[in-house]
Amino acid sequence: MPRNYLATSVVAEKDGRKENAWYNYGGRQDFSYYTPELVNKLANEVVNRVVVLFDAIKPPAGEMPVVLGPGVTGILLHEAIGHGMEADFNRKKISTYANMIGKKVAEPFVTIIDDGTIHNKLGAINIDDEGTESQKTTLVENGILTSYLHDKISAKHYNLKPTGNGRRESYQHFPLPRMRNTYMLPGEANPEDVIKSVEKGIYVKDVSNGQVKIGEGDFAFYVSQGQMIENGKLTSPIKDVNIMGNGPKMLQNITMVANDLKLAESGAGFCGKGGQRVPVGFGLPTCLVKSMTVGGTS
């Protein structure tokens, strides 16, 4: 099904100060998806996102616990971790995961999936661009790295079957191992208990403008929506803050996973690699990362 999405942006002004926000819903959807109820939901979401910014503060800078909210924060999983599990980077010994198959990369309650079979999501494909049938691939199972994402070249190199991840932007490009819909399976904790476990930290609802070094996994993301966590409770909204870290280390530092897995509802997501863009999806349950670098006020 073709990719489509409905997006809106809003600019608000208060006491001479302006803030703006943007949001969208979509995927590989039939047009019946775009009901009046969804339009109202989109309008309310984007208005709420801009209004809260007038009360937002800059959090203190430093190392602290970070709770990643469900859904769109899965982009950190995609960028900081997922790319390192694409087989071409491992075949070329670029990725930090190059010699980690069968080894522990996370706690036993962490399982990460890349799935091309989820109906209506951006990364859904029937076959990849090499003719391999789409499938669900388990990358990390109970904390153990079990597979890379393979096209036919890397599968032949490793003497394995392709995983259906050979994707390209168009006929003008060559296939590369690319993600589809990448997400972490839910855990057993309640989201409220994850937040309650943090004495002082931040809660991340949404991120944007990420930068990642694929080999090392070092990343920085701008927090576009979030809140302070103080004494186990969500308090002031935050703005003008970046979170920084290392993908493999972040994976190791996930100490709680909640039972509220959500896949991002965006229809506008693209992933860039090798000068090519392909649509991808991602998702995450609420997760506690015990320590990340927060770039706020000194």
Q: Give 62-84 pLDDT, tens digit per residue.
A: 999 999 999 999 999 998 899 99
Instruction: Find the mean pLDDT for residues 33-57.
Output: 96
CB 277 within 8 A of CB 14: no
Q: Give 144-171 pLDDT, tens digit per residue.
A: 999 999 999 999 999 999 999 999 999 9
**In which residue are the tokens 């090392």 written?**
216
CA dist 139 and 154 (Å) reads 15
Sign for the CA dihedral angle at 95, 63, 206, 284 comes to positive
Q: How far lies 17's CA from each of 13, 55, 225, 228, in Å?
A: 5, 12, 18, 22
CA dist 188 and 278 (Å) reads 33
CA dist 206 and 73 (Å) reads 6
* 113-117, 189-193, 210-214: range with lowest mean pLDDT: 210-214
pTM: 0.94
Sign for the CA dihedral angle at 100, 116, 186, 232 comes to positive
| Whole-number pLDDT of residue 80 | 87
CA dist 58 and 201 (Å) reads 12
Instruction: Kindly state the helix (H) or strand (E) to which residue 37 belongs, with its residue range.
Output: helix 36-51
Cβ neighbours around 63 below 10 Å, total: 12
| Whole-number pLDDT of residue 208 | 84
Predicted confidence band of residue 142 (pLDDT cuts 50, 70, 90): very high
Q: Is the pLDDT of residue 139 over 90?
A: yes
| Whole-number pLDDT of residue 240 | 83
Instruction: Kindly state the helix (H) or strand (E) to which residue 76 belongs, with its residue range.
Output: helix 74-76
| Whole-number pLDDT of residue 216 | 80
| Whole-number pLDDT of residue 206 | 93
In sequence order, which ranges of 52-161 are alpha helices (DSSP H)?
74-76, 87-91, 152-158
Q: Read off the tokens for 118.
A: 């989820």
CB 140 within 8 A of CB 146: yes
Q: Is the pLDDT of residue 297 over 70?
A: no
The two beta strands, 112-115 and 62-68, are: unpaired
Instruction: Find the mean pLDDT for residues 197-215.
Output: 89
CB 117 within 8 A of CB 134: yes
Q: Read off the tokens for 202.
A: 């931040």
Q: Read off the tokens for 280.
A: 């991808």
Q: Is the pLDDT of residue 217 over 90?
A: no
CB 249 within 8 A of CB 225: no
CA dihedral 72, 291, 195, 43 (to 10 degrees): -30
Neighbouring C-alpha atoms within 13 Å toward the C-beta of 95:
23
| Whole-number pLDDT of residue 298 | 58
Q: Is the pLDDT of residue 296 over 70?
A: no
Predicted confidence band of residue 121 (pLDDT cuts 50, 70, 90): very high
